Structure 1
Amino acid sequence: MNFNLNPEQQLLQDSVRRFVDRDYDFEARTALVKAGSRCSAKHWNTFANNGWLAAALPEAQGGLGGTLLDTVLITGQLGRALVIEPYLGCAVLAAQTLRAAATEAQRDALLPSLADGSRKLALAYSEAASRGLPTPVAMRADPAPGGYVLHGVKTLVLGGCDADAFIVSVMTPYATPASAHDGAELRLFVVEADAAGLSRCALPLHDATWAAEVTFDGVFVKADALLGESGSGLPALREGLLHGTAALCAELVGAMEKAIEITSEYLKVRKQFGVPIGSFQALQHRMADMAAEMEVARSMLYALLASIETDAPEAAERTASQAKALIGRAAKYVCGQAIQLHGGIGMTEEYTVGHYFKRAVVADALFGNADLHESCVAQALQQSLTVE
């Protein structure tokens, strides 16, 4: 995989960097947080007008025809500013799952409004028992005349507070009973947010972003709310989560970069014994360790992008688990060390660096934490050895 950016990709990365430097400094972000903002309409329009929402969507449905690399370039820069808008949840997770699952007619109907920012979709897949993984799924869809009735609860729905509709993973009876090995399969539905029986509870997360808990209490949907064909639900959900994991990992690499920059500047101006504390060799060693961890994380991100492009889905998912565990732990280490090097001021709400650690903690919980993904990798390796 070629990681040298072409001119269009360099322009994309530069445009996002200019936005976060000019319009999304820490003071601007703090003002949004204090105002209780979950998604600034002004900033979301900026995302749409600059083509960031459409970057990795097909040209036939209003997108720019880009790839996962374009998404990663965007989220890497957004991570530097700890952007609170639900780009990850709506523009990556939901959009890429929809692209993977939908028929051509469904893409034509749904993707253009995501690309231009006029509608937001959120992916409601996580449940208490799944711990951020795509399975198991307890939510069910009971057949009814003309459609299905949905029952269940979805947790940690990123972008769910302001979504116009949800993509929901549900267990449904097989269309042909003879093909059923357990009587049900995972399918994806598009459910409007104002559907009767649907309720959502806004959940403020530790890093000032928001998620939602969505309850489906006898929600009726028509049969045409089903995305794609039988057998497409779980593969599409896994593909969407692959894109989401890569985007989140890139965001954490961007956050580590910024945390190191902030800390480096602080060590140059903070004085002790009449000299900048950055001149102390022990602190220089700690900064070197932080930079090394960040570069290992960046290399792991590159390995994940290459695996998604070239490997079979099972191998790419195993690499995604490795990346999620390694980069998540690296981010907590780097951002935690940044707080340590700032001393007491690093613990205050009014100072920037502590918020990067909060983002790292929340990111570790999303899509399954490091321990869970390490367990997934261990199980996959054990199975491969057994087969051999």
Structure 2
Amino acid sequence: MDFKLTEEQLMLQETAARLVRDVYGFERREQYRQSQQGFSARFMQQLGELGLCAVPFAEAYGGYGGSGVENMLVMTELGRGLCLEPYLQSVIFAGGLLAQLGSEAQKDRLLPQVGNASLQLAVALDEPQSHYRLNDVQTRAEPVTGGWKLNGRKSVIIGGQSAGLLLVSARTSHGVRDEQGISVFLLDPQEAGVSRRDFATMDGRKACELYLEDVFVNASALLGEPGQALPALRYQQGRCIAAQCAEAVGSMEAACALTLDYLKTRQQFGQPIGKFQVLQHRMVDMRIELDQATSMTLLAACVADQADSDERSRRLAAAKFIVSRASRFVADQAIQLHGGIGLTWEYMLSHHAKHLLMVARQMGDDDHHLQAYAKLMQVA
């Protein structure tokens, strides 16, 4: 099979790579991380100005009609630079939900703003008890005159502390964990009854907990038909998983490069430690894991925008399983080969390691996706 990139895809990859190289040095990243927002609003704006935020959207909404492969190219470079901006959550996940569920009026109004980075979105789907289950929703939405009233709590909303709009899943009918009865609402975080508790994640990004107490939203805030949102949530999470795998591959490539450079320069017993065969074997093992993860990421990117099916779900679950395992292995081995310096906050590798460990547990860890893959095999 021919996996060569087109000329347009190569240009897109180079644009993203050049922007990250020019803007995201380690010292600048630390400044962005320590800021109140937790990332660089200027860098996010540059992504929008260069058209990178518009890549996944249809031309009718100011986008380029890109596929999972184009998303993969952008996300790999963002992962390589360890970029803090919530591109994954705002553009791919939330933007995808809006494109799939939104009315024409909603898409005409909001998608161009997401595409030019003037509006940041975030998805509020997880709850304290849900543990990767999108159908485990206890947040309730009750119909009232002119709209809906929301009550509940959402957890670990990456980028939620700075989002202009949140996409919140809530149960409009049926019982907890039922497949039916889940809806998605557009929520302004400044509405009365909304409160957020911001915190830093283990890899330096910022997130928030969301608390909803009798929050009123207009009827126009509902995305799609009431109670029918779960298939769209699962489909768009699959697209997001494929993109996150690409982000992890970019981070693993950077971690391997840092480790190889360290083995070539660190002296012990009068020679570089990279001369020792046992360390060479460990480095080879890291590259093998990276190559497997890269292959599965490419497969995931190719199926991400296909019609929903068991085969698509199997391939995405397999990709997330392989990439999660590889992320943990590369992070662990890179730290082992570096020794103590690999854990210091002042060294870039420690941030890659923390991010890889975080990625391995977002949207389902390896055990979760192995179980999902096994169930889909039984169905087949």
TM-score normalized by structure 2? 0.94
Cα pair 1:122 1:167 within 8 Å, conserved: yes
- Are positions 1:193 and 2:189 aligned together? yes
- Are positions 1:337 and 2:356 aligned together? no
For 1:15 and 1:271, the matched residues in 2 are separated by 37
| Correspondence for 1:95 | 95
| Deviation of 1:183 (Å) | 11
| Correspondence for 1:83 | 83
| Deviation of 1:230 (Å) | 4.4
Alignment of 1:1-388 (within 5 A): 3-173=3-173, 185-230=181-226, 232-310=228-306, 312-384=308-380
Cα pair 1:150 1:216 within 8 Å, conserved: yes
Unpaired runs of at least 5, structure 2: none
Partner amino acid, structure 1, of 2:11: L
Partner amino acid, structure 2, of 1:370: D
The change in CA–CA distance for 1:16 and 1:336 in structure 2 (over 3 A counts) is same
| Deviation of 1:216 (Å) | 1.1
- 1:322-381 CA-partner distances (Å, limit 9, x unpaired): 221210110110121111111111111111111111001111221122222222222333
| Deviation of 1:36 (Å) | 4.6
For 1:37 and 1:307, the matched residues in 2 are separated by 34
The change in CA–CA distance for 1:252 and 1:49 in structure 2 (over 3 A counts) is same
For 2:316 and 2:293, the matched residues in 1 are separated by 12
Q: Which moved more, 1:286-295 or 1:373-382?
A: 373-382
Moved over 6 A (4+): none
- 1:184-238 CA-partner distances (Å, limit 9, x unpaired): 6111111111111111111210000111111111111111111123464112211
Cα pair 1:173 1:183 within 8 Å, conserved: no
- 1:29-71 CA-partner distances (Å, limit 9, x unpaired): 1222234541212111111111111111111111122112111
| Deviation of 1:127 (Å) | 1.2
Partner amino acid, structure 2, of 1:156: V
Partner amino acid, structure 1, of 2:40: S
Aligned-partner SS, 2:288: helix
For 1:24 and 1:308, the matched residues in 2 are separated by 28
Cα pair 1:45 1:117 within 8 Å, conserved: yes
Q: Report sequence identity in percent.
A: 39
| Correspondence for 1:177 | none
The change in CA–CA distance for 1:318 and 1:137 in structure 2 (over 3 A counts) is farther
| Deviation of 1:303 (Å) | 2.1
The change in CA–CA distance for 1:190 and 1:309 in structure 2 (over 3 A counts) is closer
Partner amino acid, structure 1, of 2:347: Y
Q: How many residues align?
A: 377
RMSD value over aligned CA atoms?
A: 1.8
| Deviation of 1:319 (Å) | 2.1
TM-score normalized by structure 1? 0.92
Aligned-partner SS, 2:223: coil
Cα pair 2:173 2:227 within 8 Å, conserved: no
Cα pair 1:88 1:158 within 8 Å, conserved: no
Partner amino acid, structure 1, of 2:4: N
| Correspondence for 1:178 | none
| Deviation of 1:309 (Å) | 4.5
- 1:63-96 CA-partner distances (Å, limit 9, x unpaired): 1221121111111011011111111111111111
